[in-house]
Structure 1
Amino acid sequence: MELGQQIAGLEADLQEVTRVLELCESSRVREVLSQEKQKIEKELKQKQSRREAGERPDTAVKGYTVKINNYGWDQSDKFVKIYITLKGVHKVPENVEVKFTERSFSVLVKDLDGKNHEMTINNLLCPVSVEESSKKVKTDMVIVMCKKKGVKKWECLTQVEKLTKDKDKSSYDENADPGEGLMNMLKKIYSEGDDEMKRTINKAWSESQEKKSRGDDFDF
């Protein structure tokens, strides 16, 4: 696996673990997931340093970089479109780079008014076609065109947003088990996670089995 793909995967894992930590109420599970988050952050930093060290001087990004936080999105039967407003971006279309994977995309606009602007969206709700996805540069705007692999309508942009919506929906069910939403989320992460993530969750489960009398019981 290429270094860039490894970094993208770690960024996706970090976002997922962070989101679960925000929703988790069990102190024991929070402790285990916090340790896992620290490991991911450390590994991610190391790989990012390796990537930066491997860049040639003529391709390195100059100036300081700011995050793009404001954007809008829409969709048609074939595309999910992300609209990013950046004043003057149409004057430097050659400085706009967009990279895609099946479940993510990243945008980098170099040297716009002395700054670099970047945004990465991981864990897209559904897979997209890397080859058929593209970008358009309009007046003061970049449009990211993610080609759907099917005609299904997206209810939100990312899996994390869907998990949040599902949790909010379950909170309105007075008869629902208050821990069910978190359990389902942990089971999803377990089924889709790598060996290290599975070992982490198994450890939390094993330890919680010893605390049944206190109600900290997780059954995978």
Structure 2
Amino acid sequence: MDLLNDQIIQLEADMQEISSFLEKSERQRVQNALKLEQKKIEKEIAFKRQQKEQEAKRKADPSSGSKTYTVKINNYGWDQSEKFVKIYITLKGVHAIAPENVEVTFTERSLVVLVKELDGKNHQMILNNLLHPIDVQNSLKKTKTDMVLVMCKKKMNKKWDCLTQVEKQTKENDKPSPNPDDNADPSDGLMSMLKKMYTDGDDDMKRTINKAWSESQEKKAKGEGDMGMF
């Protein structure tokens, strides 16, 4: 509670100073920059005051704290550098909550992100079975405007194709399996088809195939063609 009060007081002092600068500023570009910063601080103050009200309600009615529930974080992206895998988690207003409410727990093959009491909810993301091991001691998190940045230090400076072993397995399962007939002799397929036609066909079909077979043998004997038959 005291922390929120201090933060609100500091933000209000910033607002007063910006207002003072605006009154003295004569250049439009400078005025625009100051107004943007002013709007940003106004939003932060409103958010802090809302938090203060929620905290006061929880203090007045302790049972209300049990209503906080945890939701799964689904909105995130990732990329990588030579040394880090970077996970970007978008959470509106996360920069305005107490820093200790943003927790990231690392193990060599997993990480858990827990953001507590943001908009009346806890937000959690669990990544198990990371593709490669990470350096726990040198992995870290940073809180930015509306975002949590998780930086997993690679143990090996190699490229990650995905985040987890499960994703890798899924990609491999989605690959089309090789056709066992790709390397087969094309004539084998033709012969199989003709054999089936002969076996299943009526007398006329059999006579036609026998005639074609006889003619192919005559051509083969003359060196005009090369066709196998059953």
Describe the SS at the equivalent of 2:172.
helix
User: Which residue in 1 is equivalent to 2:85?
Assistant: 80
Describe the SS at the equivalent of 1:146.
strand
Query: How far apart in 2 are the matches of 1:86 and 1:154?
Result: 25
CA spacing shift, 1:81–1:74, aligned 2, 3 Å: same
| Larger RCO, structure (CA 8 Å, separation 6 or more) | 1
CA RMSD of aligned residues (A): 1.8
Confirm whether residue 128 of structure 1 aligns to residue 143 of structure 2: no
**TM-score w.r.t. structure 1 length?**
0.50
Any conservation in 2 of the 1:100–1:133 contact (CA below 8 Å)? yes
Query: How far apart in 2 are the matches of 1:142 and 1:61?
Result: 25
Any conservation in 2 of the 1:89–1:112 contact (CA below 8 Å)? yes
Describe the SS at the equivalent of 2:142.
strand
User: Which residue in 1 is equivalent to 2:69?
Assistant: 64
Identity of aligned residues (%): 72
Describe the SS at the equivalent of 1:152.
coil
CA spacing shift, 1:162–1:84, aligned 2, 3 Å: same
**Superposition pairs of residues 19-34 of structure 1, within 5 angstroms:** none
User: Which residue in 2 is equivalent to 1:115?
Assistant: 121
**TM-score w.r.t. structure 2 length?**
0.48
User: Which residue in 2 is equivalent to 1:187?
Assistant: none
Query: How far apart in 2 are the matches of 1:108 and 1:61?
Result: 17
Aligned amino acid, residue 136 of structure 2: V
Deviation at 1:94, TM superposition (A): 2.4
Structure 2 gaps of 5+ residues are 1-64, 182-230
1:144-198 per-residue CA deviation (whole Å, 9 max, x = no partner) reads 10000011100111000101111122x241229xxxxxxxxxxxxxxxxxxxxxx
**Which runs of at least 4 in structure 1 moved beyond 4 Å after TM superposition?**
none
Deviation at 1:63, TM superposition (A): 1.1
Confirm whether residue 142 of structure 1 aligns to residue 152 of structure 2: no
Aligned amino acid, residue 106 of structure 1: V
